[in-house]
Amino acid sequence: MVSKLSSEEVLSFLIIVSIILITARVLGEVFRKFKQPAVIGEILAGILLGPSLLGTVAPDVFNDLFTSSNGIPYKAFDGLAQIGIILLMFIAGFEVDLKQIRLQGKKAASISLMGLIFPFALGFLAVWFFYERIFSDAAHTNLVIPAMFFGTALSITALSVIAKILLDLNILRSKIGNLVLTAAMIDDFLGWILFSIIIQMMGKTGEGSFASVAMVLGFTVFILTIGRWLVDKVLMIADKFLSTGGVMTLSVSLCLLSAVLTEYLGVRGIFGAFLMGVAIGDSKYFPERLQNILHQFVVNIIAPLFFASIGLRVNFVTNFNFEVVAIILFIACFAKIIGAGIGSRMSGMTKNESYAVAFGMNARGSQEIVLGALALQAKIIDEPIFVGLVVMTVVTILIAGPLMKYYIGKEHKLTHNKVAGGQPPGIEIMSQPEKTIAGI
């Protein structure tokens, strides 16, 4: 007989979900009012309700809430949070506009690749040569895995955060805005492929590693070619015979099936969800109107549960290591700004425009936090490293907008008399249509 939750366990589960959702959404809206991504407030909610604050100030209350009934209600909540991150990566895939990448691909690729190579190399080398100093509590005989993770985590740009910053600065449809957004799409995509390879390589050596890499790349190529064509045809048929709700249900089902497949293959389910999001988002039979409906539900209801759950897993006070945080922050910012700046200059941008692009590309977000949480669960990293990644994410988000605005304004002042009508360079409105992207 299949066991089920008792009435008491259901009550505990509902209390946990209610308290976490309300706290996360309230704090998320507070940060949104200050023009910051809601994800910061949602993580803060978990820190306040977790071992960092509530568990320290009122341990009995914390234990009654999260560890009662042998922790079964919290496990049920954690399952719901995992669904949240799968759906979040699904809608993140919508933001990867393959047509835009083809249009701006050459210039954006130089920004993206240089912005990936520098922090990846510096992060990899830092772990390779200073492993014991950085990974104080971790124990790996194969340094390749933690080194690759560290390089990947420091090199990915947050597409959703950048989109929000560009919207706030009113340059989303500008030359700079288009270029940064396209470069971030490429960055995101390559970063997730890298991380999926790392997950596959865990515990494997030699032929197993090569087979894992081939599996990830093969599945990616399939989804973006034949798979994307098949998905488009399925949605075309569904559009004729199903209601709007039916089309949405089908799309979410395809997301979950893709997640099941990649999880079965040994790649995290979120990667399959992300790839399916890219395929479905590229289809004209899943229009922006439906994407926005799903986006609002996931971002405002389901995803906050996952980000709040991060604060529940780790004590941010006892695991805060200033040296580790400083190392992560320095490597992440220095390498990303240098790399993206060089890539911008290579694509023909002025010095100030290059700085603006570099600081925009330096913004991290939910992707780094998701990667960190998965790596923590997989024991690739320890708690102080995870706390350092979260701090790095928050700092880079806070500085990105003001510094982009400063350098765009500086460029405007230098060339004001040369530009017709006094319009700032780099913010000419592009004529081609774009997706409207809301920040996560």
DSSP string, 350-376: -HHHHHHHHHHHT---HHHHHHHHHHH
Query: For 169-226, what is each residue's pLDDT tens digit?
Result: 777 666 777 778 778 877 877 877 777 777 666 655 444 456 656 777 788 888 888 9
Task: Name the band, by pLDDT with cuts 50, 70 and 90, for residue 437.
Answer: very low
Task: For residues 97 and 78, give the distance between their C-alpha atoms in angstroms, rounded to a whole number.
Answer: 31
For residues 26 and 127, state if they share a domain. no
Residue 439 has pLDDT above 50, yes or no: no
Task: For residues 52 and 46, give the distance between their C-alpha atoms in angstroms, rounded to a whole number.
Answer: 9
How many beta carbons lie within 10 A of that of residue 225, not counting itself?
11
DSSP conformation class of 424 = P
Residue 136 has pLDDT above 80, yes or no: no
Query: Comparing 156-165, 264-273, 352-361, 420-429, which segment has the lowest mean pLDDT?
Result: 420-429
For residues 82 and 170, state if they share a domain. no
Query: For 382-392, what is each residue's pLDDT tens digit?
Result: 888 888 888 88
Query: For 229-246, what is each residue's pLDDT tens digit?
Result: 999 999 999 988 888 889
* pLDDT for residue 140: 54
Q: Which residues contact 294 (CB under 8 A, 6 or more apart)?
A: 87, 91, 248, 251, 252
Q: Which residue has the higher pLDDT, 60 or 373?
A: 60
For residues 286 and 408, state if they share a domain. yes
* pLDDT for residue 266: 65
Q: Compute CA 293 distance to the chain's CA centroid, rounded to the nearest angstrom.
A: 20
Task: For residues 292 and 301, give the distance between their C-alpha atoms in angstroms, rounded to a whole number.
Answer: 14
* pLDDT for residue 370: 74
Task: For residues 115 and 436, give the distance between their C-alpha atoms in angstroms, rounded to a whole number.
Answer: 24
Residue 25 has pLDDT above 90, yes or no: yes
Q: Which amino acid is at 427?
A: I
For residues 55 and 196, state if they share a domain. no
Of the chain, the end-to-end C-alpha distance in Å amounts to 41
Task: Name the band, by pLDDT with cuts 50, 70 and 90, for residue 151.
Answer: confident
Query: Is residue 440 domain-resident?
Result: no
For residues 104 and 195, state if they share a domain. yes
Residue 286 · residue 235 · CB < 8 Å: yes
Residue 129 has pLDDT above 50, yes or no: yes
For residues 380 and 300, state if they share a domain. yes
For residues 362 and 299, state if they share a domain. yes
Residue 432 has pLDDT above 50, yes or no: no
Task: For residues 298 and 83, give the distance between their C-alpha atoms in angstroms, rounded to a whole number.
Answer: 10
To the question of pTM greater than 0.85 for the whole model, the response is: no
Q: Which residue has the higher pLDDT, 169 or 84?
A: 84
Question: Which residue has tokens 């366990």?
Answer: 9
Domain count, the chain: 2
For residues 250 and 179, state if they share a domain. yes
For residues 332 and 377, state if they share a domain. yes
Pair of tokens at residue 49: 């309700």
CATH number at residue 139: 1.20.1530.20
State the residue range of the domain holding 128: 90-422
Task: Name the band, by pLDDT with cuts 50, 70 and 90, for residue 126.
Answer: confident
* pLDDT for residue 438: 42
Query: What DSSP element (H or E) covers 20?
Result: helix 7-33
